Amino acid sequence: MTKSLTPHKDKTLFTPGPLTTSSSVKEAMLTDCSSRGVFFIDLIKNIRQELLSLSDVQSSNYTAILMQGSGTFGLESVITSTIAEEGHLLIIINGVYGRRAHKIAQTLKIENSVLEYNDDQVPDLEQIEYILKETPEITDVMVVHSETTAGILNPVNKIGKLVNKYQKNFIVDAVSSFGAVPIDIENWHIDFLVSSSNKCIEGVPGFSFVIAKKEALEKTAGRSRSLSLDLYSQWKGLEDNGQFRFTPPTHTLIAFNQALKELNQEGGIEQRMKRYQNNSKILIAAMKRLGFKPVLPSETQGWIITSFYYPDDPNFDFDILYQKLSELDFIIYPGSMSNLQCFRIGSIGRIFEQDIVKLVWAIEHSCQEMGLDLS
Ligand SMILES: Cc1ncc(COP(=O)(O)O)c(C=O)c1O
């Protein structure tokens, strides 16, 4: 047996997903069930209803569609299935996930324009309005809500107002925000919102979901450039017999149903947001005390994930810090900002104030061992 296949021990994940989940969510998976049976069909129905209720939208106007695969599959499903053959997608980019959406559009040979900003910059509303006004061929606009690259929370409400003013379809990547950041889908004029099972709902990986405005969705029949990622057909399948068209991730869906129950028990999105905000506040204050500087100013810093600059100390080595923390059963995340030396720590998942305190203690201890001057 290779070293990496020795028995695994749970670690606390301070990452943006997969993330730390509750024991009850993990235990919920200890069952095998038929994907065509009544239990499972009822479970799918319940998950779809719960997602609409969390979104605070009516089932007469919106629907929740579950799609196999991670967040990227959900995003690709929306892009491939909703943009017309003669459509033109504007992608607002300020991080890796905006760039990924662009790559999806390029791969699918969808006409597109981009408005690109630095990874630590908030998109400029005047520029967005200008391009919408001057480029009438644009039919669809896409933006990431919580850009997990730096941790920025983008102003989707204000962008939505402009998208609505110019009568475009609006696609929002809410993969890392849905469940812990209030999103007013209707008033922010969102036609297709995408998120996934293993982020702020605190489920395990395996599927993504789309909250779609029926009026926009109904126009997309036959547009998909893919068979398995065809959003419209997936919706019709779920509506017709309550089932997935192809093998669903049964265990993941059962775990997700449990995670939804636990989200409601915690007090819904509002209370989950408060816990994550508290995690984030304590983390930033404690890291600052150790001398680490957050990349983002407090005005644009969201509460999902925080990027910290590498300290200006020759003894600092991120790989060594990562290894030392991992040996203490804490997992943090490398940075992914273009041209910036930074690392990231997530505040989401089944983690609480005491976990953050322990993590920061472990960071301090590891930095001391590395010979960093933390005075
Ligand atoms: C904002 C955002 N969009 C998309 C994705 C891609 O999701 P996945 O890695 O599940 O495909 C992520 C993953 O972290 C994300 O944070």
CA distance 127 to 125: 5
**Banded model confidence at residue 373, pLDDT cuts 50, 70, 90:** confident
Pocket test of ligand 1: the residue of 79, 97, 194 to mutate, having most ligand atoms within 8 Å of its CB, is 97
Q: Check pocket membership of 17 for ligand 1, CB cut-off 6 A.
A: yes
**Banded model confidence at residue 233, pLDDT cuts 50, 70, 90:** very high
SS3 for 288-320 is HHCCCCECCCCCCECCCEEEEECCCCCCCCHHH
Q: Check pocket membership of 255 for ligand 1, CB cut-off 6 A.
A: no
Look over the chain and give the mean of its residue pLDDT values, rounded to a whole number: 96
Angle at 343 between CA 342 and CA 348, to 5 degrees: 140
CA distance 72 to 53: 24
Q: Check pocket membership of 295 for ligand 1, CB cut-off 6 A.
A: no
Residue with the bigger pLDDT between 153 and 335: it is 153
Give the model's pLDDT for residue 339.
Answer: 78
**Banded model confidence at residue 270, pLDDT cuts 50, 70, 90:** very high
Dig out the tokens for 182 from the structure: 């209030």
H-only helix segments in the chain:
23-27, 38-55, 71-82, 96-107, 125-134, 156-165, 214-218, 231-241, 250-266, 268-289, 318-327, 353-370
Give the model's pLDDT for residue 17.
Answer: 85
Q: Check pocket membership of 70 for ligand 1, CB cut-off 6 A.
A: yes
Q: Check pocket membership of 175 for ligand 1, CB cut-off 6 A.
A: yes
Pocket test of ligand 1: the residue of 94, 176, 199, 252 to mutate, having most ligand atoms within 8 Å of its CB, is 176
Average of per-residue pLDDT across 282-307 = 96
Give the model's pLDDT for residue 182.
Answer: 97
- Residue 2 pLDDT greater than 70, yes or no: no
Give the model's pLDDT for residue 6.
Answer: 66
Give the model's pLDDT for residue 15.
Answer: 94
Give the model's pLDDT for residue 336.
Answer: 82
Q: Check pocket membership of 193 for ligand 1, CB cut-off 6 A.
A: no
Domains and CATH numbers, the chain: 3-18+268-370 (3.90.1150.10), 23-264 (3.40.640.10)
Dig out the tokens for 154 from the structure: 């983008």
Average of per-residue pLDDT across 219-230 = 98
Pocket test of ligand 1: the residue of 143, 175, 304 to mutate, having most ligand atoms within 8 Å of its CB, is 175
**Banded model confidence at residue 374, pLDDT cuts 50, 70, 90:** confident
Give the model's pLDDT for residue 4.
Answer: 65
- Residue 1 pLDDT greater than 60, yes or no: no
Q: Check pocket membership of 306 for ligand 1, CB cut-off 6 A.
A: no
Q: Check pocket membership of 244 for ligand 1, CB cut-off 6 A.
A: no
Average of per-residue pLDDT across 60-67 = 98
Cβ 337 vs Cβ 368: under 8 Å: no
HSE at residue 180, side-chain half, CA atoms within 13 A, is 30
Give the model's pLDDT for residue 99.
Answer: 98
5 Cβ contact partners less than 8 Å away, ≥ 6 residues apart: none
Cβ 318 vs Cβ 370: under 8 Å: no
* Ligand 1, atom 8: closest residue by C-alpha: 71
For the segment 131-167, what is each residue's pLDDT rounded down to a tens digit? 999 999 999 999 999 999 999 999 999 999 999 999 9
Q: Which atom of ligand 1 is nearest to the CA of 147?
A: 1
For the segment 113-125, what is each residue's pLDDT rounded down to a tens digit? 999 999 999 999 9
Average of per-residue pLDDT across 333-344 = 88
Q: Which atom of ligand 1 is nearest to the CA of 74?
A: 11
DSSP string of 61-105, one letter each residue: TEEEEEEES-HHHHHHHHHHHHS-TT-EEEEEESSHHHHHHHHHH
64 Cβ contact partners less than 8 Å away, ≥ 6 residues apart: 47, 48, 49, 51, 52, 55, 209, 210, 211, 212
CA of residue 305 to ligand 1 center, whole Å: 13
For the segment 161-203, what is each residue's pLDDT rounded down to a tens digit? 999 999 999 999 999 999 999 999 999 999 999 999 999 999 9
Q: Which atom of ligand 1 is nearest to the CA of 198?
A: 10
pTM of the model: 0.97
Give the model's pLDDT for residue 7.
Answer: 65
Which amino acid, 369? E
Q: Which residues, in sequence order, are bridge partners of residue 146?
A: 153
Q: What's the N-to-C CA distance of the chain in angstroms?
A: 44
Q: Check pocket membership of 148 for ligand 1, CB cut-off 6 A.
A: yes
Give the model's pLDDT for residue 196.
Answer: 98
- Residue 239 pLDDT greater than 90, yes or no: yes
